[in-house]
Amino acid sequence: MIGGFEQPDTGNIFIDNRDVTNDEPEVRPLNTVFQNYSLFPHLNVRENVKFGLRFENAFIKSPKSDEQRVGEALELVQLGSFGERRVHQLSGGEQQRVALARALILEPSVLLLDEPLGALDAQLRAQLQVELATLQRQIGITFIYVTHDQHEAFTMSDRIGVMREGRLMQVGGPRELYEQPNSVEVARFVGAANLIQCRVISRGVIELAGEKFAAPESAPIGDGMMMIRPERIRIGSGNHKAIIERVTFAGSVLRISLKLGQVTINAEVPNDETTVGLRDGQEVNIDVLPDAVRVLPLVG
C-alpha cells in the first residue's frame, strides 16, 4: 500500500504531510531495496547506481549533476573507490551497498527495505544491520524495514509493528513491545516468554500454582495470563521453592527449566560463578519482581 500497488480499504497514506493515497507508484517519493538486488552485470558500480536517475521525477530535491549525485551516493555507502568495478567483483555485502546507493540517489522521503540482508551470512548481516541503522540516522529519512528476524528488528528499529495475517497487532518501541506486549499473541511472537494462566486475587497479588506472587497494582482482578521473560526470574532469592528439571548450557547463559508445583517455568541466568553449581533435581528459591510481570487478557 505504501508503494502504491495496493489500495487501502479505509484511511489515507501521507508522506511528508502530502496525501499520496491515489498517486501512482512512480510519482511517490519513495524507493525500494529488495532481497534480490537486481544489479546489472554488464554495468559497473557507477553505472548501476546512475541507472536509477533514468527514472527521476518530481521528488528529486537537489539540482546537482548526475555525476555528483552518483559520487555522493557511493560515498554514503562507503563505496567511493568502487565505481569502476563490475558486479561479479563484489562481495554480497558490497552488492547490497550498491543496491542501497541506487535507491538513495533519488533522494526519497521513504525507503522501503524488503528483507535486504536475508541472503547474507550471519556475521555480515550483523555488521550491515549496524551500518544501515547508522546510515538512517545520518541521512534522516524514514526506513520501513520488513523482516522475519526479531533480533534484526530489535537491533535496528526505533518503532516496530507486529503483523499477523495482515493485521497490525501492536506498534511501539523495541523495549515497549518486549516488556509490555498488549496481547498473548504479541507476547508469544516477540522473544521467549513464560505464559501461565493465573488469577489476580487482590490489588498487586497474583495466585499461581497455589502460591502468591507480587504483581503490578494495575493488573485487573480476575483470571488472566501472566507473562514473564526468562531472564527476569531470580534464582537463589525469594521465598518460593522450585525444583530444577534441567540445566542447559548456552554459552554466556544457562537456560533452566523449573518446576513450581504443577507449573513449568523457564529461566535464563548468566553463566558465572554464582550459577555454576546449579544442577538438575536441585531445590532452589525463586523470586519474581512485580515490575517484571505483565498480566494479559486470556483471549488473544
Q: Give pLDDT tens digits for 181-218.
A: 999 999 999 989 999 999 999 988 999 888 888 888 88
Residues 73 and 151 in one domain: yes
Mean pLDDT of 290-300: 85
| pLDDT tens-digit map of 55-93 | 666 455 667 788 999 999 999 999 999 999 999 999 988
Predicted confidence band of residue 255 (pLDDT cuts 50, 70, 90):
very high
Q: What is the largest CA-CA distance in the chain?
A: 73
What is the structure's pLDDT at 56?
64
- Whether the Cβ atoms of residue 93 and residue 127 lie closer than 8 Å to each other: yes
Q: Is residue 52 over pLDDT 80?
A: no
Mean pLDDT of 114-133: 88
Residues 47 and 127 in one domain: yes
What is the structure's pLDDT at 274?
85
- State how beta strands 110-114 and 142-146 pair: parallel
What is the number of structural domains in the chain?
Answer: 2
Of 31, 27, 23, nearest in space to 114 by CA: 31
What is the structure's pLDDT at 299?
72
Residues 104 and 206 in one domain: no
Residues 153 and 196 in one domain: no
Residues 43 and 124 in one domain: yes
- Whether residue 130 lies inside any domain: the answer is yes
- Whether residue 180 lies inside any domain: the answer is no
Say how far apart CA 86 and CA 142 lie, in whole Å.
Answer: 30
Whole-number mean pLDDT of the chain? 90
CA-to-CA dists, residue 246 to 205, 242, 296, angstroms: 29, 12, 28
- Whether residue 185 lies inside any domain: the answer is no
Residues 40 and 132 in one domain: yes
What is the structure's pLDDT at 172?
96
Residues 153 and 18 in one domain: yes
pTM score, whole prediction: 0.80
CATH of the domain at 117: 3.40.50.300
Residues 141 and 223 in one domain: no
Structural domain boundaries enclosing 279 = 192-296
What is the structure's pLDDT at 57?
60
Share of the chain above pLDDT 70, in %: 97
Predicted confidence band of residue 107 (pLDDT cuts 50, 70, 90):
confident
Classify 131 as helix, strand or coil.
Answer: helix
Residue 6 class from Cβ within 10 Å (0-12 exposed, 13-18 middle, 19+ buried)? exposed
Residues 215 and 147 in one domain: no
E strand or H helix that includes residue 247: strand 233-250
Say how far apart CA 216 and CA 39 lie, in whole Å.
Answer: 53
- Whether residue 186 lies inside any domain: the answer is no
| pLDDT tens-digit map of 3-49 | 999 999 999 999 999 999 999 988 899 999 988 888 999 999 999 99
Say how far apart CA 190 and CA 195 lie, in whole Å.
Answer: 12
What is the structure's pLDDT at 59?
55
Q: Is residue 160 over pLDDT 90?
A: yes
- Whether residue 182 lies inside any domain: the answer is no
Q: Is residue 219 over pLDDT 90?
A: no
Mean pLDDT of 91-107: 91
Say how far apart CA 194 and CA 34 lie, in whole Å.
Answer: 35
Predicted confidence band of residue 99 (pLDDT cuts 50, 70, 90):
very high
